[in-house]
Amino acid sequence: MLVKDAVEDYLHYISVVDQKSLKTIASYHNDLKQYECFLTNTALIDRIEDVNFAVLQEFVGELGKVRKPSTVNHMISTLRTFHQYLTFTYPQMIDPTLYLHNSRIGSRLPKYFNEKDIIKLLDDFGDSDQEIFDHAILELLYGCGLRVSECCSLTLNQMHLEQSFLRVIGKGDKERMVPMNQRSVKIIRQYFDLVRCNWAVKRSPYVFINSHGKPVTRQYIHTMIKQKLREEGLDESLSAHSFRHSFATHLLDGGADLRVVQEMLGHADIATTQIYTHVQNKRLKQAYERFHPRSVKEEEK
């Protein structure tokens, strides 16, 4: 089978049969077209059956020279599912990804706001249309632990203000229910009653629309947050995702069960959620070393 045909076969499968989301299909398309280009132009391989482990190693090695380990690992995941599909569909083929290992990624603890700073930031909004709009977005990012993409794609029928919860469609089109605090509900109602009703020049299903009635973009949210951090004199290395990190960290600090936090974040694997327990452990250790009399270093005695 020609490499091009194999790629098209798989893309057809995930879009028509498996019915992946448009975002997921686009991601696979980009990865596999890059892989196809390498095979046909660099490795000079026309048939997918001729791909072996050495060819994959060369491709991943070249990619690793110009891309971050996380990007390389995303590509490796794509290659695994692609070749697994081929070997399942065409049993005569051999899977060359069997011994392909992920790149090592240094462990980084997520950056988050302390409670004092995030309350200061969220309480410092005016009553102009734009500030009410921005405030509503940030209240949901922190109050519900949303990803920026989830916030942008949030629709009116996913929001249940009377019952104070959101129905969130996350990665892989997985659905989860997330409670809303009363502060978030109040700000969202204010946005609906005072701002959105004037901006919705055309009927839009999206919760967050700009003054032209278009859905808010991720770029707008990232830029708005950077500007707000600068205005408040807060750490500018914090980001939109730091609101989600803060949501999880503050819940665990308050005694929430790890499994409950996992469910509200929409993590498929609890190991992903456990990174926040590492944040707690690091902070506990710092407090111990600072305040316990037995933790004083020898040279300080």
Catalytic-labelled residue, pool 196, 244, 245, 250: 244
- Which is the catalytic residue, given 83, 228, 250, 267? 267
Closest CA to 180 of 249, 264, 268, 274: 264
147 catalytic residue (yes or no) = yes
Q: Is 276 labeled as catalytic in the residue annotation? A: yes
The one catalytic residue in 10, 28, 85, 276 is 276
135 as an active site residue: the answer is no
Q: Which is catalytic among the residues 171, 176, 222, 226?
A: 171
Nearest to 14 by CA among 24, 6, 5, 1: 24
Tell me the β-bridge partners of 166. 159, 178
171 labelled catalytic:
yes
Whether residue 15 contacts residue 25, with contact meaning beta carbons closer than 8 Å, is answered with yes
Angstrom distance (rounded) from CA 58 to CA 268: 31
Q: Is 244 a catalytic residue?
A: yes
User: Of the listed 147, 196, 228, 250, which one is catalytic?
Assistant: 147
Catalytic residue among 4, 167, 241, 283: 241
Q: Which residues touch 216 (CB under 8 Å, ≥6 apart)?
A: 137, 151, 152, 206, 208, 209, 210
Scored b (16 or more CB within 10 A) or e, 65-74 reads eeeeeeebbe
Catalytic residues: 147, 171, 241, 244, 267, 276
